[in-house]
Structure 1
Amino acid sequence: MPETVLVTGGTGRLGRLLVPMLLDAGRQVRVLSRSGARAPLADVEYLTGDLVKGEGIERAVKGAQTVVHLAGGAKGDDIAAGHLTRAAARAGVEHIAHISVIAADRLPLGYFRAKLGAERAVADSGVPWTTLRAAQFHDLVLGVLGAMAKLPVMPAPGAVRLQPVDTRDVADRILTLALGDPAGLVADLAGPKVYGLADLARMYLRARGRRRALVPVPMPGRIGRLYREGANLTLSGADLGTRTWEDFLAEQL
């Protein structure tokens, strides 16, 4: 009987790529999400539940050998991971593969603290585990710039540099990790190039054929200093994806 893999957040941008890849690898796939799939795939079992509220998890993990934890939100990721990992341990899950974010342990912001809390919940669960920290996805950067472009002028925090990674590169990496042996905290995954946020914005505007004034915005205090120092980046020792921001824009726009 094929191995059963539970994917949390399997209807999100990363999950929609990973689920068919798991099917192609011969796995039996189960997806847990809050709202169900808009375009369900044949041979995939879809379950609804809420990780933050702790609802629907026991049924989802029952009989699964591997859990791929992709689900995340603006807040509550640490709580969600705690509920999931405790249920996984009780169910005898053999491997949890988890996606996190680069600098989860370096930036004192609520989002990153919750991501670090989720990492700790996975590591302390008693279930063998693998955690991959990835940079911001191209899709996320595109959405942020699109929202900023609706303003009469676009703010450009001069201290912010990003090394965005393509979602397909992340899907390829997490597939390999999920199907392999538990490896703990593995090398970070970032895109092939580092960009200033203003440069990303200029390329976005040029691709859309739009004009906006870019207004430099200083980032004071400790957070500004950390961004100026590149604390949100992994500039050495990271695995690098293959698709650049320019490649992504050419495809999308």
Structure 2
Amino acid sequence: MRPILVTGGTGTLGSAVVGRLLSRGCPVRVLSRQAHTPGEHGWAVGDLVTGRGLDAALAGAGTVVHCATTHGKRDVEATRRLLEAARGAGVPHLLYVSIVGVDRVPLGYYRVKAECERLVADSGLGWTVLRATQFHDLLARVLEGLSKAPVVVVPRGVAFQPVDVRDVAERLAELAEGAPAGRADDFGGPRARPVEALAAEFLRARGRRRPVLRAPLPGRSVKALRAGGNLVPEHRAGRITFAEFLAERYPA
């Protein structure tokens, strides 16, 4: 079986993907900018932005799971270089992780992810794109910052459908073992809930008493979120709830 190369394999999602692939008996190679001691999986040293080491990293790979991400045009350039190297190496399948709503919510980061999706689809490679809703980890980091103020201010009329990275990783592992699927079904968390309810749940888990204020925030992005551009209620594929995530992350 040809190894599966995972970019971003030391990150929050990537490390979970590596673990799921190993548990399924898949040979795994993780791309990193620094050398590591071999363990359960192999390592390849390379840089997505400069292209250094990519040819060697991709040699013999059967599937690439592209979890690595950064900000701005560097993300686009990194994806472009990876695709070029993958074509040169004859990689039959590239799996890209994106975000639900990249074509509906006009955030700068979402525009970048949408551009990367287009590059993948036009690459000439066999490809799969999986869009997921916001991760529990991201929502917790945002609420951690907001809860440092005396009052937690959240946008009125906005809901989120957070999903656990472990659930997304399991789906990615399944897709990585399969044939290229194009746009896979979106992957959403088990439930969409108003952001003020999620904030209150977070505060209880952290043992913090703060009022939560719903503010009518302006802007096109907030308008798109109020319209549900970040939600996929028809694809409630995740199983782990935000409450279960919080109980694990912040045990009493």
Normalization by structure 2: what TM-score? Answer: 0.92
Q: Evaluate the alpha carbon distance shift between residue 146 and residue 249 of structure 1 in structure 2; reply closer, same or farther with a 3 A threshold.
A: same
Moved more, 147-156 or 137-146: 147-156
Give the corresponding residue for 1:156.
154
> How far has the Cα of 1:239 moved from its partner?
4.6
CA–CA distance in structure 2, aligned partners of residues 20 and 89 of structure 1: 27
Distance 1:117 1:250, change over 3 A: same
Question: Mapping of 1:1-253 within 5 angstroms?
Answer: 2-35=1-34, 42-75=39-72, 76-236=74-234, 238-253=235-250
**Partners of 1:179 and 1:114 in 2: how far apart?**
27
Q: Distance in 2 between matches of 1:57 and 1:217?
A: 47
**Whole-Å Cα distance in 2 between the matches of residues 138 and 244 of structure 1?**
9
Residue 245 of structure 1 and its aligned partner are, at CA, apart by 0.8
Report SS of the residue matched to 1:104: coil
Check the 8 A contact 2:99/2:131 in 1, yes or no.
yes
Separation in structure 2 between the aligned mates of residue 82 and residue 121 of structure 1, nearest angstrom: 7
C-alpha contact (below 8 Å) 2:117/2:129 kept by paired residues: yes
Partner-residue secondary structure (3-state), 1:190: coil
Q: Which runs of 5+ in 2 are unaligned?
A: none
Deviations 1:134-158 (A, max 9, x none): 0111111111111111223211111
CA displacement 1:182-241 (0-9 Å, x = unmatched): 1000110011111111111110111111112223222224323212111121232x2521
Distance 1:141 1:101 in 2: 14
Following the alignment from structure 1 to structure 2, what is the Cα–Cα distance between the partners of residues 145 and 224?
17
Identity, % of aligned pairs? 47
User: What code does the residue aligned with 1:20 have?
Assistant: G
Deviations 1:85-131 (A, max 9, x none): 11101110011111110011112221001101111111111110111
CA distance in 2, matches of 1:140, 1:132: 18
- SS state of the match for residue 11, structure 1? coil
Aligned length: 249
Listed as ranges, the gaps of 5+ residues in structure 1 are: none
**Structure 2 CA distance for partners of 1:156 and 1:176, relative to 1, 3 Å:** same
Judge which range, 17-26 or 106-115, deviates more.
Answer: 17-26
Aligned mates of 1:86, 1:116 — CA distance in 2: 18
Relative to structure 1, the CA distance from residue 133 to residue 164 in structure 2 (aligned partners, 3 Å threshold; closer, same or farther) is same
Question: For 2:98, what is the secondary structure of its paired residue?
Answer: strand
The 1-side partners of 2:226 and 2:174 are apart by: 34
AA aligned opposite 2:61 = A
- CA contact 2:191–2:233 (8 Å) conserved in 1: no
Aligned-residue offset at 1:41 = 6.3
Alpha-carbon spacing, 1:162–1:85, altered in 2? closer, same or farther (3 Å): same
Give the direction of change, closer, same or farther, for the CA distance of 1:13–1:36 in structure 2 (3 Å limit): farther
